[in-house]
Amino acid sequence: MGLLLALFVLLGASIARADEPTPPASAAPAVTIQLQPQQRTISLDGRSRYWVDKTAMATPQQVEAAGDTLPWATRRPGMSFNLDGKALWFEFDVANPTGQRWYVDVQSSGIDRVQMFYRAPEDGHWVAQEAGDTTPVSDWPIPGRFATFEIASAGAKPVRLWLRIEHARVDFASPIVLLNQSALVGSREREQFLLGGYFGLALLIAIIAAANAVAYRDRNFGVYAVYVAALAAGQLAYLGVGAQHLWVYALKWNEAATFVLPGVSAAAALWFARTVTEPGRFSNALDLVVWALIAALLGAVAVDTVVASRASFALLMVLIIVALVLVAGLIALVWTQGDDAHIRVIALGFLPVMVAAVFPVLRGLNLIPTSDLTRYALSGGAALEMPILFYALSMRGSLRREAQVRASALSGHDALTGLSHARTLLPRLEDALKRARSLKHPCALLAVRLANYEAVASQFGREVADRMLVVAAALLRNAITDIDLAVRTGERDFALLLEGPTTTENAIGRAQQLVASGLRHHDALPGATILKFNIAVALLPENGLDAAASIKWLLEALNEIRPDARKAIRAVNF
- List per-block mean pLDDT (blocks of 10 residues) for the chain, which spans 574 residues: 43 46 48 85 93 96 93 92 95 88 93 94 88 93 94 80 95 94 92 93 95 90 95 94 92 90 94 91 91 96 93 94 94 80 83 92 89 90 92 79 51 77 89 90 94 91 92 92 90 92 92 93 87 95 90 93 88 90
Instruction: Output the CA–CA distances (angstroms, integers) from residue 286 to 274, 277, 279, in the order listed.
Output: 10, 11, 6
Nearest in space to 198 (alpha carbons), one of 238, 140, 168: 238
How far apart CA 550 and CA 547 sit, in angstroms, is 5
DSSP 225-270: HHHHHHHHHHHHHHTTHIIIIISTT-HHHHHHHHHHHHHHHHHHHH
Assign a CATH topology to domain 422-571: Alpha-Beta Plaits (3.30.70)
Q: Report the chain's terminal Cα–Cα distance, integer Å.
A: 87
Interacting residues of 278 by C-beta distance below 8 A, sequence separation 6+: 334
Interacting residues of 101 by C-beta distance below 8 A, sequence separation 6+: 150, 153, 180, 181
- For residue 370, the model assigns a pLDDT of 87
- For residue 154, the model assigns a pLDDT of 66
How far apart CA 63 and CA 60 sit, in angstroms, is 5
How far apart CA 513 and CA 515 sit, in angstroms, is 6
DSSP 45-61: TTT-EEEEETTS---HH
Kind of pairing, strands 533-540 and 569-571? parallel
- For residue 357, the model assigns a pLDDT of 92
Query: Chain-centre distance of CA 88, in angstroms?
Result: 40
How far apart CA 365 and CA 359 sit, in angstroms, is 10
Q: Are 351 and 388 in contact (CB under 8 A)?
A: no
How far apart CA 470 and CA 524 sit, in angstroms, is 9
Domain ranges of the chain: 24-184, 188-409, 422-571
- For residue 4, the model assigns a pLDDT of 42
Q: Are 478 and 533 in contact (CB under 8 A)?
A: no
Instruction: Output the CA–CA distances (angstroms, integers) from residue 147 to 152, 168, 500, in the order listed.
Output: 16, 16, 74
Neighbouring C-beta atoms of residue 17, cutoff 10 Å: 19
Neighbouring C-beta atoms of residue 438, cutoff 10 Å: 8
Exposed / middle / buried, residue 85 (Cβ in 10 Å: 0-12, 13-18, 19+)? exposed
Assign a CATH topology to domain 24-184: Immunoglobulin-like (2.60.40)
In this prediction the pTM is 0.72
Nearest in space to 450 (alpha carbons), one of 551, 557, 530: 530
3-state DSSP percent of the chain in helix, strand and coil, to 5? 55, 15, 30
